[in-house]
Structure 1
Amino acid sequence: MCYWFDESNSTLEASVFASCLVDHSEKVLSQKLLPVILYSDGCCAQNRNATLSNALLRLAIEKNIVITQKYLEKGHTHMECDSVHSAIECKLKGKEIFLPQQYMAISKIARSDPMPYEARYLDYNFFTDFSKELIYKSIRPGKKTGDPVVTDIRMLEYRPNGTIWYKVDFDNELQPLPHRPTPINNIKQINGLQKLYAARIPITKRKYQDLQDLNSVLPPSCLSFYDDLPHSNR
């Protein structure tokens, strides 16, 4: 599944990545409720933060399943999904791109065997704000100086009883995070959380003007997209 959006519909913050991951996980779980194992690289902004962990914990509670998130070791971070980027880049060669939505269309035909990729183009209404009403304020596996920090985590396990367990070494036993979670009966469901954005995000006036300068080389059918972009006045 490939998620696409332009910067008038979203920024790059933890709730954005969490919204995409939860959306895809819900789709998989709607077919069959089974324990989920996720493999993530070590990027803290995307995959190793309290916002994403709380989103996955809410999902584990709602679906009454265990979700396990494993982090790849340094030097061993190549994943099967990396080939998606390569396949899309190859398909883009020689193509004329006038609108962001065209990237979504190309991703769908970037692979045929064993099946085409799925792709969605997202607008600002899609994203949920998972950074508020946190069950766990922190996912650091320690409290005092010298204790393990977030980047030491090798595995997190999200349990339907509302707790998060962790490992800092794959050979260790799971331990509960040393932080008190919010009681489950006080937890809002995912669909009860606020949206991340109330409207499209304005781009700068300078960027808007630069895009307008491209009008002479754009097909007439594409002009309305750039004319309608929200922008600031300074």
Structure 2
Amino acid sequence: MLYAVNKMDNFLQIIDLKYMESGHSYLEADSMHATIERARKHRKIYTTEEWALLIEMARKKPRPYNVDTLSHSDFYDLQTLASLIMINTKFNTKNEQVKWLKIKWLRFEKSKPFVIQYKYELSDDIFLELNVLQARKCKKNISWETVSLTQKYRKRLTISEKKKKDLLILLQKKVIPEAYKSYVQNIPSSKKAEDLVSWPTPSDEEEGN
């Protein structure tokens, strides 16, 4: 948010981010998810391209959803950006500890380039302020003119070789239709890639887990 208000748009002066009370809110995204889930029922989807088409056609009135398809080159390295500018995340300008999970309102202003303003209640009269560069041991001289975003990924992400092998077996056994052969075969794999879902160990299988 700090990067956006300072770098992305000359006309953008303030970004407000408010967190709604749980159970007392309506988010358009919730309605969208429900609509997409209804459209997905009784359908088999094998590729990301099919997901994009399904989402686009899930709603007809007042108009179909607009779907932007992203590739690996569209993602930026926000972790490196944060490590560069977020020197202080613990204490505000009053030397009070910031209670992040209790924050209800965040404000970012171009006129305060390295300050995060926040409130614990929407009805609070004033914002508290966190200067992200204000740290006792910070000796960095940073300006937004010297800060830039870099790409997160230089090439397509890989899956593990074990997962790729399983996909090819599913293709061979016709669980995945033959029409998707080229798509599956072209998925990059690597020995170094880690699966997000852990594989069962022999002891797990013996215990029925």
- Is this a same-fold pair by TM over 0.5? yes
Tell me how far 1:139 sits from its aligned partner: 4.2
Judge conservation of contact 1:142–1:149 (CA < 8 Å) in 2: no
Structure 1: gaps spanning 5 or more residues: 1-55
List per-residue Cα deviations over 1:165-213 (Å, max 9, x = no partner): 111111221122144366544442xxx4210112122211221111111
Structure 2: gaps spanning 5 or more residues: 135-140, 193-209
Judge conservation of contact 1:135–1:187 (CA < 8 Å) in 2: no
Q: Which residue of the other structure, out of 65, 77, 85, is the alignment partner of 2:13?
A: 65
Q: How many residues align?
A: 176
Residue identity (%) = 26
Q: More relative contact order in 1 or in 2 (CA 8 Å, sep 6+)?
A: 1
> Structure 2: which amino acid aligns with 1:103?
W
Output the TM-score relative to the length of structure 2. Answer: 0.73
Tell me how far 1:156 sits from its aligned partner: 0.9
Match of residue 109 from structure 1: 57
Residues 218 and 141 of structure 1: is their aligned pair in 2 closer, same or farther, counting only changes over 3 Å?
same
Matches within 5 A, 1:46-57: 56-57=1-2
Match of residue 122 from structure 1: 70
List per-residue Cα deviations over 1:89-109 (Å, max 9, x = no partner): 100112221212211100001
Matches within 5 A, 1:25-174: 56-62=1-7, 63=9, 64-76=12-24, 78-133=26-81, 134-140=84-90, 142=92, 147-161=97-111, 162=113, 163-172=115-124, 173-174=126-127
Match of residue 175 from structure 2: 217
Is 131-140 or 119-128 further displaced after alignment? 131-140
Residues 78 and 138 of structure 1: is their aligned pair in 2 closer, same or farther, counting only changes over 3 Å?
farther
Judge conservation of contact 2:88–2:131 (CA < 8 Å) in 1: no
Whether 1:197 and 2:153 are equivalent positions in the alignment is yes
Judge conservation of contact 2:85–2:132 (CA < 8 Å) in 1: no
Whether 1:180 and 2:136 are equivalent positions in the alignment is no
Tell me how far 1:75 sits from its aligned partner: 3.1
Residues 85 and 185 of structure 1: is their aligned pair in 2 closer, same or farther, counting only changes over 3 Å?
closer
Judge conservation of contact 1:141–1:150 (CA < 8 Å) in 2: no
Tell me how far 1:121 sits from its aligned partner: 2.5
Secondary structure of the 1:105 match is: helix
Secondary structure of the 2:106 match is: strand
Judge conservation of contact 1:141–1:166 (CA < 8 Å) in 2: no
CA RMSD, 1 decimal: 2.6
> Structure 2: which amino acid aligns with 1:217?
V
Secondary structure of the 1:67 match is: strand
Secondary structure of the 1:199 match is: coil
Secondary structure of the 2:184 match is: helix
